[in-house]
Amino acid sequence: MIYVHNTGSVTRKEGEELDVKAQWKTISPTMIRRTDRFIQLALLGAYQAIGETALDKDTALFMASGQGNLAVFKRLRDQRYIHKQPPKPVDFINSLSNTSGFYVAQYFDLHGKNLNVSRLGFVAEITLLLAQNDLELGKEDQVLLGGVDELQEPATFTKRTLGISDESLLGEGSNWMLLSREHEGALATIDVAKKKMDLSEVKAYLQSIDPACKVAFGFRCTEPMIREIIDGEERERFLYNEACGFYETETLYALNSFIKEGEGELLFINVYEENFRVIKVSLLPRF
Amino acid sequence: MQKNRVFVNAYESLSCVGNTAELMAAIYSKQSGITIDTSYMSEHQAGLGSFAPNEFFSSLKSVTRVVLEKSNLDDFSNTLLVVGSSVGGIGKSEQIFFKEKNYKNINPKEHAISVISDALNREFGFKDSRSISTACTSSANALMLAQRLINLGAYENVVVVGADALCYTTVCGFQALGVLSTQQCTPFQEGRVGMNVAEGIAALLLQKVQTDESVELCGSAGSSDAFHMTNPDPEAGGAIACMQKAVENAGLKTTDIDYVNAHGTGTQANDAVEALAVETLFTHNPYLSSTKAITGHTLGAAGALEAIISCEVIKQQRIAPQTSMSKAENRQVNLPREAIEQQIRYVISNSFAFGGNNTAVVFGAVK
């Protein structure tokens, strides 16, 4: 069993404004230099979860991202072909996958394992699973886990390549949670199913759990697919989607929102290339 | 909880000196594969390690296929794939951009780190896949993850692939940082001038089952300096912590380690701190060497490539010599000038990355 102790989220939808730099500057005026918006987004989300709390130095840091820092890739290409210059050292450094993780580790003075997981589809689920494995094995006592994705425009192009409908709004976010083996003071438990499922397996899984458990679906789940999964059940849906556009790590926003606002239990179901993954969150009594 | 043991049962690699057999021959005979190149930067020469321009993805499949052929498996349908890479598909995106001078046809699915696992999944039909990207510790972290999953019983077979191709971003990026050597790199040498960027592919099959060919992956650990984005902690706290934890994870004492396969990039900062860490932690003075003067620094592939070198050192009972070093900067560490035959029970292999991301993996002869 693993426990969620803190959560924090920063998110916005297409068309909304989010001045990440200004917000982060009010928290840490000194840690602006050399960081770009993606890194600041990571820092800001982690800060929403942890604030000024001093974490154990051995806390591991796992960060997930669907696309990583694509904006810096564009800057590097522009330097080469538009400005006819070699890469700026700061942009090359910021193009590394673990740069955001470094800044988060440095800000919170974390000296444990520092991982960055990157993939399209299930990136948050896989990263949670890695953390769950390490916590269950006793390899880690505590993991600060986050998912960061920055909105890239034009949105129509991104939607096409990510395989989501034109009607869906894209978004961006930085969503973090502190996971631990320690029960005391926890907000919720979290259980990531270890295996991928097909449609019939996910339906059977849903039918096997408490009818009071709410259900939420990832953006890639279409309405016909959702109807097929629910299959006439009178199960309450947790509709986090209205406040959040699509990004690869939106799963963490859904979980954080439920932990903050929900009641009871939630089963989060996501799909990628006809495979399903599920995560169950159970809220604990709050004092 | 009873942990499953983890065995490395098959592997293959491709680097600028060739396949694994050719790699070990080059290491023991101190023949570097680094060439002096101006194709990425006409105004600067750089020592690079390259094997097959434009054939990276076909080579990736070939190397993985050799692992399958060497294994006890009929296919990879019940095997997890864990990829460690820092470049992913950036080279593909660069080719499109350099040809078309715009971003219109760059596909995020072809750009991401996971493009490597996607390509291998299409070819071999793995049960599932993960991609780890932590710059130069990527595939060392992939090995650590694979070990955890087999320990836990989540998988019985895991293929770890470390793979990074040369591309404009990395070559010119390291040049912009002023750490790229114009010649073959000289790890641990006094007055060394920098590193060689290289490409590499390394694939290892890790299994719960032991075979006649097994080397044991005994332990692994990671740490974070949280000190500086590009410079390691000068007191080597992070490097020491990760090696210490890896030895503990293996259930060993530091005095059990016979050979340290160094990260040893040839940069001033890395080698000084790594030598200090080894000197501080391993007071029995085990042999220490870096093979990057032979292969160059294969970035995200380095952890997996050097895992294979570590397994070969154990199988051949022969320490890899330190190439390209005439005068050591740190005289307190034990840098062998020639290959040394001796009993080798345990080897620790280090990988360190920007951001102070440290990983160490311990391999042992099977008892």
SS3 at position B41: coil
- In angstroms, what separates the C-alpha of A99 from chain B's closest C-alpha? 6
Return the minimum-mean-pLDDT range out of A194-198, B290-294, B317-321, B335-339.
A194-198
- pLDDT band for B63, please (50, 70, 90 cuts): very high
Nearest residue on chain B to A106, alpha-carbon basis: B226
Question: For residue A110, how many C-alpha atoms fall within 13 Å in the half-sphere facing its CB?
Answer: 28
Find the largest Cα–Cα distance for chain A: 62
If you measure CA to CA, which chain A residue comes closest to B219? A139
Of A102, A114, A161, the CB nearest to B229: A102
Task: List residues bridging with B205 in a β-sheet.
Answer: B10, B159
How many residues make up chain B in this entry?
A: 367
Is pLDDT at B89 greater than 90 in this prediction?
no
Q: What is the pLDDT of residue A281?
A: 98
- Which pair of tokens denotes residue B112? 């991401």
What band does B108 get if pLDDT is binned at 50, 70 and 90? low
With contacts defined as CB-CB under 8 Å, which chain B residues touch A83?
Answer: none
Question: What local confidence, expressed as pLDDT, does residue A119 receive?
Answer: 80
Beta strands in B169-312 (DSSP E): 197-198, 200-207, 215-224, 257-261, 287-289
> Does pLDDT of B62 surpass 70?
yes
DSSP-derived 3-state class of residue B213: coil
Q: How many CA atoms lie within 13 A of A6 on its CB side?
A: 19
Taking only the tens place, the pLDDT of each residue in B181-191 is: 999 999 999 99
pLDDT at B53: 65
C-alpha span between B338 and B325 (Å, rounded): 11
Q: Is B198 helix (H, G, I), strand (E, B) or coil?
A: strand
**Contact between residue B92 and residue B110 where contact means Cβ atoms under 8 Å apart:** yes
Question: Can you tell me whether residue B134 is helix, strand or coil?
Answer: coil
Out of B112, B144, B354, name the one closest to residue A120 (CB): B112
Indicate whether B42 pLDDT > 90.
Answer: no
Residues from chain B contacting residue A112 (CB–CB below 8 Å): 222-224
Those residues whose C-beta lies under 8 Å from the C-beta of residue B74, and which sit 6 or more positions away, are: none
The answer to whether B213 touches B202, Cβ cutoff 8 Å, is: no
C-alpha span between B360 and B236 (Å, rounded) = 14
CB contact under 8 A, B135 and A74: no
Is residue A92 within 8 Å of residue B171, measured between CB atoms? Answer: no
Query: Which pLDDT band, with edges at 50, 70 and 90, does B215 fall under?
Result: very high
Q: What is the mean pLDDT of chain B?
A: 94
What does the domain layout of chain B look like in residue ranges?
7-365
Q: Does B97 touch chain A (CB under 8 A)?
A: yes
- Torsion, CA A246, CA A247, CA A248, CA A252, rounded to 10: -90
Q: Where are the beta strands (DSSP E) in chain B?
A: 7-14, 35-37, 46-49, 80-84, 128-132, 157-164, 197-198, 200-207, 215-224, 257-261, 287-289, 318-319, 340-341, 346-353, 357-365
- What confidence score (pLDDT) does residue A97 get? 81
B residues 127-146 closer than 8 Å to A (CB)? 128-135, 137-138, 141, 144-145
CB spacing of B229 vs A70 below 8 angstroms: no
- Confidence tier at B78 by pLDDT (50, 70, 90): very high
Residue B3 DSSP code: P
pLDDT along chain A (287 residues), means of 10: 95 91 91 90 97 96 89 83 84 88 95 89 94 91 96 74 75 97 96 93 95 94 92 90 89 97 96 94 87
Say how far apart CA B359 and CA B367 lie, in whole Å.
25
Tell whether B209 is within 8 A of chain A (Cβ).
no
Which of B100, B134, B161 should one mutate to test binding to chain A, selecting the residue with the greatest count of A CBs within 10 A? Answer: B134
State the pLDDT at residue A161: 63
- Does residue B174 sit at the A interface (CB-CB below 8 Å)? yes
Q: Which residues of B298-319 are buried (b: 16+ CB within 10 A; e: fewer)?
A: bbbbbbbbbbbbbbbbbeeebb
Contact partners, residue A254, CB within 8 Å, separation at least 6: A216, A218, A238, A240, A244, A268
Whole-model pTM: value is: 0.90
**Which pLDDT band, with edges at 50, 70 and 90, does B91 fall under?**
confident
- Are B223 and A112 a contacting pair at CB < 8 A? yes
Residues of B in contact with A246 (CB under 8 A): none
Q: What pLDDT sits at residue A280?
A: 98
> Helix, strand, or coil here: B190?
coil
Domains and CATH numbers, chain A: 2-188 (3.40.47.10), 191-283 (no CATH)
pLDDT of residue A233: 82
Taking 70 as the threshold, does the pLDDT of residue B101 lie above it? yes
Residue B235 pLDDT greater than 90, yes or no = yes
Contact yes or no for B130 and A81 at CB 8 A: no
Using CB atoms within 10 A of its CB, is residue B293 exposed (0-12), middle (13-18) or buried (19+)?
buried
* Closest in A70, A106, A138 to B226, CB measured: A106
Share of chain B above pLDDT 90, in %: 83
How far away is chain A from the Cα of B152, in angstroms, using its nearest Cα? 7
Check residue B90 and give its pLDDT: 81
Query: Lowest mean pLDDT: which of B107-111, B155-159, B363-367?
Result: B107-111
User: What is the structure's pLDDT at A163?
Assistant: 67
A73·B223 Cβ contact <8 A: no
Minimal Cβ distance to B226: which of A80, A105, A118: A105
Token pair belonging to B288 = 């220490």
Question: In CATH terms, is domain B7-365 a member of 3.20.20.70?
Answer: no
Please tell me the predicted confidence (pLDDT) of residue B216.
98
Q: Strand pairing of A265-272 and A214-217? A: parallel
Q: Is the peptide bond before A154 cis (omega within 30 degrees of 0)?
A: yes
- B138-146 mean pLDDT: 96
Contacts of B122 in chain A (CB under 8 A): none
Residue B312 and residue A130: Cα distance in Å, rounded?
29
